[in-house]
Structures are given as structure tokens and as C-alpha cells.
Amino acid sequence: MAFLADSLARVKPSATIAVTNKARELKAAGKDVIGLGAGEPDFDTPDHIKAAAKAAIDAGETKYTAVDGMPELKAAICEKFARENGLTYTPSQITVSTGGKQVLYNALMATMNPGDEVLIPAPYWVSYPDMVLLAGGEPVAIDTSIDTDFKITPELLDAAITPKTKWLIFNSPSNPSGAGYTREELKGLTDVLMKHPHVWVMTDDMYEHIVYPPFEFATPAQVEPGLYDRTLTCNGVSKAYAMTGWRIGYAGGPEALIKAMGKIQSQSTSNPCSISQHAALAALTGPQDYIAESRVAFQRRRDLVVSMLNQATGLKCPTPEGAFYVYPDLSALIGKTAPSGKVIETDEDFANELLEVEGVAVVFGAAFGASPCFRVSYATSDKTLEEACSRIQRFCGSLK
């Protein structure tokens, strides 16, 4: 009898963590390494949010709370959905978990039966397919390319739906491409979904607030109210308020689904950290200045990185609408030889050689299901980004 669960064999370790570890090892060995792998804002959590957490500790808010979120936080989330997304939810339609990650995981655990298919546009956030596998379902990638700026089209979506499709996981702006769907593009997709009433939508709106004008964020149930009864609208404070370590995510959706997700949480982790819930309450109800300030910095960095990478020999880098990632295509460099004699056959070869030669850590595209590409996170200082992009230019120019 095997000791470890068979389901684990279906899941692979996170490639983004592997890259981070390798960069850390090289750094420890004294190499000058620039890490462009981070999946979190480089800014500090705003002071008023930290103050709310300290006040919560002093007030003794250090006990269990309701399993899927304190009533006052749920009320604030309802207000947020109404104010920012035009969506009406009641507190019984809201769940709060330990990060956006647990929200998605609970939803999959609550709904997957063997054979159920989950559509995942590629490139995708690394955790989606593995979470589906852990929950016993079948991830089905919808491939895209740079030709559609890494977005799916209504035709691609329609062709991927089968009688076994249970969910579409939708993520705009996207990790890793930064691509954001306009309201019109989204309407094209929701029109297809309206023809297939058995397909539900799990929309991961984590990067809602990191978007650059003139792009405006929209979410599926807002664009097509007819989808409201089969949409789980997922969000969180991690990226919007530089709160990745606090671990608070939330979702609004049909009450029966929310209840089922709460059941899983009640038998696994119980409530998310009480202090973090108070911090999230302050984030959602307090001053929103941080969002606009960080957006200006991120947009400046996006423009810098896109411009410098497009000047690198053989790279094509679309200008993303949001998040803090770019996803350049390196097709023109496949088959070229590095000065070390190494032939670049895959995007993983490219990323490994770039790290060895120039000390720049990026994540290769195969990890996100779309090759040959790589992901750059620009959640770091302008100066560091300039240096990193100069090194990438030099490396690309050295390939023959």
C-alpha cells in the first residue's frame, strides 16, 4: 500500500517557487542576481491598514470568528461589490478565506466530481490546473498566442466546451500575461456562455485594481447579468492593497455554493486570521489612495519594461492592460546558440541560460502553459528593472 496519496502524483511542484529557489541559491553563492519572479507588489501595506490590525490585537480581537468571515467584513465586501462592480450580494452570498488561493481551492473542492472538466485559458496562473487535479477534476487548457495578445476568443471558448465542462476559470488582468479583456471582448465570451447553461464561471479578479488607462476593468456577472446565478466572483486584498502576507481573499456567488465552500473551510482551516480580517476591513472601507499611487508607479514600470524588451533582438512583447507582469514571446530565438555553446531549444533553456550568464531570474512560459515565452514581474524598482532589461538585451544579442 502506497503511503502518499495517489492524487499527489498528478500534481507538480510550483515552477515559480523553483525559479525563486534557484535565484536564491545563486545569490547565496555570491552571484549578482536580479529576481524578476516575484508575484507580489514591492510596496508596503498602507499605514492605516497596519494600524487597524494593531488596534484589533489591543482590543482582544484574537479569537475564532465566524468560519467564513466576520459579519462586518462580509458587509464591507457586499458594499465593495456594489460600489465597484455593480453587483448585488447579500452577506449569505459572501465567503472569506485565507487568501484568494483558498477561495478558489474551496470552490473546486466543493464542486469537482470525477470526469468534470474545467476550462483554463493558457497562459494561466500556475495553480489553476493543479488545484483542479487535486480536487479530482480534469483541467482543459484553451491555448492562445501572441497573435491575440494571449486572450481567448469567443470561437476558441465555444470550441472548448463539452457536455462535461463544469467551470471556466477566467482571470483578467491575467497572471502571467497581464492581458485584460475589454467590456466588448468580455461580452463576446459571455454571449457564448449564455448558449451553454451548464457551464459556470469562476472569475479571478485579483488584479482588478492594477489596470492602466484607458483600459477599464469589468467582471463577467456585471457585463452579463444573466450569468449572475452561475458565477463565483473571486477577489482579495493581496494585490490591491499590498497585503500578500495577510492572507485574505473573498468571493460572492450563489448561496448554495457559498455554503458548500464554507463546509469545506469549517472542516479544514476554519476562519481566516481574525487580525487580518480587521486589516482587510480597514483596506476595503478606508482611504483608497494607495491604489491610485501604486498604479502610477506600476504603469511607469510597465512602459519601461515593454519598451526595453521590444528593443531586445528576437523578443516581441505586447503591452498588457494590467497586473505587474509582461509576457514576451521568444519564438525568434529558438534554435539559436548561446556563447557557452548551449542551444536554446525551449523557453526553459532560455530562462536557465539567462540566469547563468546574466544573473536575471525570470519564469519560463511552459510553467504557465504557453511557449516559447517568459514572464517578467516588474514589481521592483525602476533602477533594477533598467539594469535587468539591459542584461536581457545583452543576452538576446549574444545568441547566434
Q: Interface with ligand PLP includes 123 (CB under 6 A)?
A: no
Sole binder of ligand PLP in the list 125, 170, 181, 217 (CB under 6 A): 125
Q: Interface with ligand PLP includes 320 (CB under 6 A)?
A: no
Ranges within 222-241 binding ligand PLP (CB under 6 A): 236, 238
Ranges within 58-97 binding ligand PLP (CB under 6 A): none
HEC assignment per residue over the chain: CCCCCHHHHCCCCCHHHHHHHHHHHHHHCCCCCEECCCCCCCCCCCHHHHHHHHHHHHCCCCCCCCCCCCHHHHHHHHHHHHHHHCCCCCHHHEEEECHHHHHHHHHHHHHCCCCCEEEEEECCCCHHHHHHHHCCCEEEEEECCHHHCCCCCHHHHHHHCCCCEEEEEEECCCCCCCCCCCHHHHHHHHHHHHCCCCCEEEEECCCCCCECCCCCCCCHHHHCHHHHHHEEEEEECCCCCCCCCCCCEEEECCHHHHHHHHHHHHCCCCCCCHHHHHHHHHHHHCCCHHHHHHHHHHHHHHHHHHHHHHCCCCCECCCCCECCEECCECHHHCCCECCCCCECCCHHHHHHHHHHHHCEECEEHHHHCCCCEEEEECCCCHHHHHHHHHHHHHHHHHCC
Cell numbers placing 31: 552571484
Binding residues for ligand PLP, rule CB under 6 A, total: 13
Q: Interface with ligand PLP includes 244 (CB under 6 A)?
A: yes
Q: Interface with ligand PLP includes 151 (CB under 6 A)?
A: no
- Nearest distance, CB of residue 313 and ligand PLP, angstroms: 30
Which of 99/123 has CB closer to ligand PLP? Answer: 99
Q: Interface with ligand PLP includes 99 (CB under 6 A)?
A: yes
- Nearest distance, CB of residue 305 and ligand PLP, angstroms: 18
- Nearest distance, CB of residue 104 and ligand PLP, angstroms: 7
Sole binder of ligand PLP in the list 45, 65, 171, 231 (CB under 6 A): 171
- Nearest distance, CB of residue 243 and ligand PLP, angstroms: 8
Closest-CB residue for ligand PLP?
Answer: 99
Q: Interface with ligand PLP includes 180 (CB under 6 A)?
A: no
Sole binder of ligand PLP in the list 22, 74, 101, 336 (CB under 6 A): 101
Sole binder of ligand PLP in the list 117, 185, 204, 329 (CB under 6 A): 204
- Nearest distance, CB of residue 238 and ligand PLP, angstroms: 3
Sole binder of ligand PLP in the list 121, 129, 178, 249 (CB under 6 A): 249
Q: Interface with ligand PLP includes 100 (CB under 6 A)?
A: yes
Q: Interface with ligand PLP includes 358 (CB under 6 A)?
A: no
Which of 246/395 has CB closer to ligand PLP? Answer: 246
Interacting residues with ligand PLP (CB under 6 A): 39, 99-101, 125, 171, 175, 204, 206, 236, 238, 244, 249
